[in-house]
Amino acid sequence: MKKVLLYNHSGCGNRGCEAIVRSTAALLRDGGAERIWLSSGEPAYDAGLGLSDVDKVLSPVISPYSVRRLVNSVGFRLGMPREHEVARRYAPVIAAGRRCGVCLSVGGDTYCYNPQEHMRVINARLKRAGVPLVLWGASVDPELLTPAMIEDLSAYDLIVARESVSAQALREKGLRVLLWRDPAFSLPQVQLPLPEGWREGKTMGLNVSPLVLDRMGEREEGIRLFAAFIRHVLRTTDLTVALFSHVLWPHDDDRSVVRALKAAYAEDPRVICLPGEPGAREIKGTISRMRLLVTARTHASIAAYSTGVPTLVIGYSVKARGIARDLYGEEGGHLLESRTLTLPALEAAFDVLAERGEAERALLARRLPDYLKDAEGALRAVAELAKD
Domain ranges for the chain: 3-180+373-385, 203-371
pLDDT (mean) for 221-239: 97
60, 197, 259, 291 from 275: Cα distances, Å: 32, 12, 12, 19
Report whether pLDDT(65) > 70. Answer: no
Note the CATH number of domain 203-371. 3.40.50.2000
Instruction: Report the CATH fold assignment for 3-180+373-385.
Output: Rossmann fold (3.40.50)
pLDDT at position 112: 84
pTM for the predicted model, two decimal places: 0.94
Return left, alpha or beta for 217; rule: phi > 0 is left, psi -120 to 50 is alpha, else beta.
Answer: left
Q: Average model confidence (pLDDT) for the chain?
A: 93
Question: Would you give the distance in Å from CA 19 to the centre of its chain?
Answer: 7
Please, which residues bridge with residue 97 across strands? Answer: none
3-180+373-385 matches 203-371 in fold: yes
Report the C-alpha gap between 203 and 201 in whole angstroms. 6
Q: What is the CA radius of gyration of the chain?
A: 21
pLDDT band at 246 (very low <50, low <70, confident <90, very high): very high
By CB atoms closer than 10 A (0-12, 13-18, 19+), residue 108 is buried
pLDDT (mean) for 110-117: 81
pLDDT (mean) for 329-340: 90
Report whether pLDDT(115) > 90. Answer: no
Sequence-ordered list of residues with C-beta below 8 angstroms from that of 48, at least 6 positions apart, any chain: none
pLDDT at position 80: 65
Report the C-alpha gap between 361 and 310 in whole angstroms. 6
**Residue environment code for 346-384, b if the CB has 16+ CB neighbours within 10 A, otherwise e:** bbebbeebbeeeeebeeebeeeeeeeeeebeebbebbbe
Residues across the chain: 388
Report whether pLDDT(77) > 70. Answer: no
